Amino acid sequence: RKEVEQDPGPFNVPEGATVAFNCTYSNSASQSFFWYRQDCRKEPKLLMSVYSSGNEDGRFTAQLNRASQYISLLIRDSKLSDSATYLCAVILNTGGFKTIFGAGTRLFVKA
Amino acid sequence: DGGITQSPKYLFRKEGQNVTLSCEQNLNHDAMYWYRQDPGQGLRLIYYSQIVNDFQKGDIAEGYSVSREKKESFPLTVTSAQKNPTAFYLCASIRTGNLSGYTFGSGTRLTVV
């Protein structure tokens, strides 16, 4: 089993739709959680950190469920420009800090 | 503006050739990382360095080498021992002890010809 797993998609949604992605992690030593956005043939860029109490940044909401070991990303009122691959990342504290990335979920927002 | 610069953007390697990918940062970050990304896969850690003159192997270090002689620079050499080097290589940095996300360079796309 991979340490961090994501549904690869693609998710095809119309503009204005609400879409949610989950990311599951297997290591209980996971300490910090992030969502990155990666456009085609570009580097990942940090979208948002995920806090225990959940957090929101405009149309984006991130949540953490430690009991079930997953994080989620909700995008409301999808825009064409939201089309990208969304990577989750988990920092493990195993004596040192190590970041594990998921393989990403592809999102296509269509007019 | 501070950031990470990777060069070249595209690199073509012949069979049996060693090539070096450059990564320079002016963010005053302590830790630097090299990842490899293959289509449909997540980022896999090649090497990382927490401080100058020290570095550790990641999950797929075989066929690669690095150096960290300066805080700002963390070059990656893809040696002829790496049998399948065609991939997208990403350099990243973070301030040690800061559990925020990485800053990535724009990547180098390496192709074997």
CA dist., res. A16 & res. A75, Å (int):
10
User: What is the per-residue pLDDT for B97?
Assistant: 66
* Tens digits of residue pLDDT in B47-93: 999 899 999 999 999 999 999 999 999 999 999 888 899 999 999 99
Residues 6+ apart with CB under 8 A from A53: none
Q: Which of A34, A100, A103 has the CB atom closest to B101's CB atom? A: A34
Distance from CA of B104 to the nearest CA of A (A): 6
In a mutational test of the A interface, the residue from B45, B54, B102 whose CB has the highest number of chain A CBs within 10 Å is B102
Question: What sign does the CA torsion over B63, B41, A56, A39 have?
Answer: positive
Q: Is the pLDDT confidence value at B1 over 70?
A: no
* Tens digits of residue pLDDT in B13-30: 888 899 999 999 999 999
In a mutational test of the A interface, the residue from B35, B55, B104 whose CB has the highest number of chain A CBs within 10 Å is B104
Q: Is the pLDDT confidence value at B98 over 70?
A: no
User: What is the per-residue pLDDT for A2?
Assistant: 80
Nearest CA in chain A to B96: A97
User: Which residues of A sit within 8 Å Cβ distance of B?
Assistant: 4, 8, 31-32, 34, 36, 41-46, 49, 87, 89, 91, 97-104
Output the tens digit of pLDDT for each of chain A's 111 residues.
788 999 999 999 999 999 999 999 998 888 899 999 999 989 999 999 998 889 999 999 999 999 999 999 999 999 999 999 999 999 887 777 788 999 999 999 999
Residue type, B82: Q
